Amino acid sequence: MDDISRVIPRIRMGMNDMEAFLYLPIPVGDNYTVEELEGALRDKGVVQGVNSEALERMVRERTYNREVLVAEGVAAKEGKDGYYDFHFNRNLDGKPMVKEDGSVDYWSVNRVEIVKQGQVVAEYHPAIMGENGVTVKGKPIMAKRARELPPLKGKGFTRSEDNRVYTSDFDGKIEMKNDRITISKVYEIAGNADLSVGNIDFNGDVLVHGNVCVGITIKATGTITVDGVVESATLWAGKDIILRGGMLGGSKSSVFTKGNITAKFFEYAVVEAWGEISAQVFMNCDVTCRKRIILDGKDAGIIGGKVHAIQGIEVGDLGNDVEIRTEVRVGNDVEVLRRIKALQKEVSDMSMMLDKVEKGLQELERLAAAQALEKNDPRKMQLLRVKIRDSATLGGKQAELGQLEQQLEDARNASIRALRSVYPGVMVIIDEARKFVRSQESHVEYRKEKGEVVSMYTF
């Protein structure tokens, strides 16, 4: 039979040339041979992954008029980046959990994660390299390159020689920020902080598993956590304060923190926080907060005393049915505005004065260069002393001005929101505007409009 009359096998390529399919029409004359089919595949460019057994079977079984998969490429096996397993809680939101019955679980609050000496705090799993693939036409398919992570940085832990296992050097508090682990010492008291323990002044975090008893003072540059009740005591923290059992102040307690406060309740205490305050009850307290105060829970309320938050207050009830005098304030008073105006003038005057001092120094430098002045002229030393002194003073005033201006901005649109009732006897103050509540109101938000406190009902 002439080659001209020979029927030609047909080859179809799969997606991305990862497969090749062979179709054999019924031959005219002799049957196909394996060599003939292999040649047809080569002519089409198929050189990788050819299944010789499939070709032999097609010839032997005379598989005609249907496609058969006869070649397959090799898919690339993607690599896996290296990763760390951390054996501690890295997400301490510091928020108490509200239960289904409306009560607040202050034991759920956690801003301090404790680890023990020798505890594995992190394990590294190295990257798994990928494998390149190839199409049936022999074109390589590059696998994604797996990435190794650098060793963890920080202090308070030991890293194994292969950089895979990290263990704590001592009992302490662990925290992670910007991929840096820090384990620091914690002053931990198993029972009560009482006279047998004495006052505490610690560079780090303080954790009391019992109560803080009458007369005790605790100062910590870090976080103070008390599992029990704080009695008539003094607390000062550079970070947060967590009081799971609350505070019975007896009018002899004070609490100050540069961070946030989370507590079950406060009674007869002076409280100041630069951050937010989250609690359930304030009773006859004097409270100052630079951010927001949120009182959660079915019994949440402010009863008596004075409570001031720059950014806003959200509470269940304000006052009580015996009309106890209760003052709640948000925003800033006139004194803040006066202080800002005074600081602006002082900063301007001092800046002008320093400009004159700088010009005087430049003139003395010019005269000294022209040898018309002694090298250590006393006037130069005097001006330098004035420059150093006034520059430091100016920096302090500028910092205070910036803080107060930010405080003004933070207080913009501040409001007081009562989710349940506001009783007669409550004084509501927003900036310089005041409203005395004379009849009970419910579900109300107080805002300032046109210089007056107005009620907006939130049913």
pLDDT tens digit sequence for 45-89 = 999 999 999 999 999 999 999 999 999 999 999 899 999 999 988
Cα distances (angstroms) measured from residue 381 to each of 353, 361, 384, 389, 390 = 17, 9, 5, 12, 14
Residues 381-398 have a mean pLDDT of 88
Calpha distance 421→419 (Å, rounded): 7
Tens digit of pLDDT for each residue in 433-446?
Answer: 999 999 999 999 99
Task: Name the band, by pLDDT with cuts 50, 70 and 90, for residue 250.
Answer: confident
Cβ(73)–Cβ(19) below 8 Å: yes
Cα distances (angstroms) measured from residue 439 to each of 86, 315, 417 = 56, 18, 17
**pTM (2 d.p.):** 0.62
Spans of all domains in the chain: 16-55+64-73, 83-133+144-184, 187-333+413-457, 334-410
Calpha distance 354→422 (Å, rounded): 54
What is the fold, at CATH topology level, of the domain defined by 334-410? Helix Hairpins (1.10.287)
Calpha distance 426→424 (Å, rounded): 6
Tens digit of pLDDT for each residue in 266-308?
Answer: 999 999 999 999 999 999 999 999 999 999 888 899 999 999 9
* pLDDT confidence of residue 367: 77
Q: In what order do the strands lie in the sheet with 153-155?
A: 113-115, 172-177, 180-184, 153-155
Tens digit of pLDDT for each residue in 10-29?
Answer: 999 999 999 999 999 998 87
Task: Name the band, by pLDDT with cuts 50, 70 and 90, for residue 207.
Answer: very high
Identity at 250, one-letter amino acid code: G
Calpha distance 69→456 (Å, rounded): 74
